[in-house]
Every structure is written in C-alpha cells, then in structure tokens.
Amino acid sequence: MSVFLNVKAKFYVDLPQYEIGNLSMATKIDIAGRLLKYDATLGGIILAYKNVMPLQKLAFCYADSPFLHIPMEATFLVFRPVKDCQLPGTVTYISQSAVSLQIFDYFEANLDIEDLKTKWTFDDNKWYRNREYFGEGDNLVVKVTQIFPSPDGISLEVQIVGKSESPSKPTNDDQEFPNDE
C-alpha cells in the first residue's frame, strides 16, 4: 500500500468581494495555504492538487461576512502514512539520547530511544547492533509506530527495520499522481 494517495474532496473557497470574477486566483490562494500541512479531513498532508472545479454556479454568504462561500471539489495528493508501514529515512541527528530522521527529505521522524537502547549500543557517535551500525547521514528503512499531527505537518515515531543503500526519495517516477484512492 502506498503512503501517497489521491483523495477527491469537497472544500469551500471564501472569495473576498474584491476578488469577484477571479475565482481561479482565490482558489489557488486558498489551496496554497493548505499545502504541506496536516488536514484532518483528508487524514494526511496535502502535497499537490489537480482537477479543481466549482460544484455549483451559485455562492452563498453568512450573515454579515464579507466573503462569498463557494463549494469546490479537487483531487489532492496526500501523504498518509499508517502504523506499521515501512518508509525510507535519512539520519539527520544522532546522540546517546536522541535520533532524528527525515522521511522523503521533508517529514520529521524520531526513534523511540528507550526501545533503541534495548537492541543497540551507542559508541563513537554511532549506534551498533552486532555488525550493523548507523550514524548521521546514513539511510535506513524504518517502520512507523506512531503518527502525530504537528504544527509543521506530521511527526512520526519509528523503529529501525534495517540499513538502506539508497537515499529517501519517493519512487513514483512515471506518474504525476499515483492512482490509489
């Protein structure tokens, strides 16, 4: 299962009176404010959008609000990791008391340090387990154990599955959006 999903969703654009006649620009501004943020309705982080269309030709107003509210629909590309999914990560910080990673060079992930200490030992700014080791800048495959919405989008708590030779890049080379819904 991919952690990148196409999700068709309804939303409202609040069109200021001075933008009447320019729905396209108001829609772009509205969606731009949602990009790279966690959206509880979609259950993940909005990365991109396409196929934006108004759902009706009429707008409505609330009491004394100076905005026209226009129902819209679009297809959003959403990053939605789930518990136990495996993701590529790059170690960005390492110490005896913390390990931080970046998933796909953007999303923050942290290792549960107490769990790590039961299986690994720290020495010379690296974590060791038998003949395996990792340090800052190394690529790992990790399993998601917890997901937290955060002000920066999303924060993941992960466990190490193993070391990886490839950097953490999405592997969807042939399509702008994946086809999973």
Sequence-ordered strand ranges (E) for 17-138: 38-39, 44-54, 67-79, 86-94, 99-103, 107-111, 121-123, 126-129, 132-134
Does CATH place domain 86-164 in 2.40.50.140? yes
pTM over 0.75: yes
Q: What pLDDT, on a 0 to 100 scale, did the predictor assign at position 100?
A: 93
Q: What is the pLDDT of residues 48-59, one digit of tens each?
A: 999 999 998 888
The CATH architecture that domain 4-79 belongs to is 2-Layer Sandwich (3.30)
- Location of each CATH 2.40.50.140 domain in the chain: 86-164
Q: What is the pLDDT of residues 63-116, one digit of tens each?
A: 888 888 889 999 999 999 999 999 999 999 999 999 999 999 888 899 989 999
pLDDT at 173 over 50: no
Over range 142-148, report the average pLDDT. 93
**Mean confidence (pLDDT) of the chain:** 86
Q: What pLDDT, on a 0 to 100 scale, did the predictor assign at position 21?
A: 80
Over range 4-33, report the average pLDDT. 87
- Location of each CATH 3.30.1490.120 domain in the chain: 4-79
Over range 147-170, report the average pLDDT. 81
Residue environment code for 149-163, b if the CB has 16+ CB neighbours within 10 A, otherwise e: eeeebbbbbbebeee
pLDDT at 162 over 70: yes
pLDDT at 174 over 50: no
Q: What pLDDT, on a 0 to 100 scale, did the predictor assign at position 181?
A: 46
Per the rule left: phi > 0, alpha: psi between -120 and 50, beta: everything else, 104 is: left
